[in-house]
């Protein structure tokens, strides 16, 4: 079976048409799908760090963060059927969320 190579309309990468949806590669589909959750994750993380410096109870926020990560994982699994690839995507998205945090914190 042959598939066409097309350019992803979001990042410009050349990918197999079999892996694209709405003209976007899998990476960009994942990124877009979890964008909101990633921001939520970064927001909760910053909140927890703030609370921690005040010696407040951060257990509840920790649970919210875990729940957000679960939802991210779930969305990624819907897009990425391969378990190992799904884990890679999740790790990348969580790293990105962390990066967001640091860039905000570092200002």
Tell me the site size for Zn ion, rule CB under 5 A.
5
- Segment contacting Zn ion by CB under 5 A, of 2-10, 37-45, 46-54, 56-64: 2-10
* String of DSSP letters for 6-65: EE-TTT--EEEGGG-BTTB-HHHHHHHHHHHHHHHHHHHHHHHHHHHHTT---HHHHHHH
Please report whether residue 28 would count as binding Zn ion according to CB under 5 A: yes
Q: Which of 25, 30, 37, 44 binds Zn ion (CB under 5 A)?
A: 25
C-beta of 28 vs 37, nearer to Zn ion: 28
Per DSSP, the three-state class of 80 is coil
Q: Rounded to the nearest whole angstrom, what is the least distance from the CB of residue 31 to Zn ion in the complex?
A: 8
Task: Please list, in sequence order, all residues whose beta carbon lies within 8 angstroms of the beta carbon of residue 76, skipping any fewer than 6 positions away.
Answer: 30, 33, 34, 86, 89, 90, 93
- Segment contacting Zn ion by CB under 5 A, of 22-30, 36-44, 72-80, 84-92: 22-30
Which positions touch Zn ion (CB under 5 A)? 8, 10-11, 25, 28
């Amino acid at each position: 079976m042959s598939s066409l190579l097309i350019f992803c309309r979001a990042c410009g990468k050349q990918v197999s048409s079999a892996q694209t949806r709405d003209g976007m590669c899998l990476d960009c589909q994942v990124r877009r799908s979890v964008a909101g959750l990633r921001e939520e994750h970064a927001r909760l993380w910053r909140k927890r760090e703030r609370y921690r410096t005040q010696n407040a109870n951060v257990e509840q926020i920790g649970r919210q963060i875990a729940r957000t990560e679960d939802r991210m994982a779930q969305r990624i699994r819907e897009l990425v059927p391969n378990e190992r690839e799904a884990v890679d995507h999740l790790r990348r998205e969580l790293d990105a969320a962390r990066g967001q945090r640091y860039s905000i914190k570092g200002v």
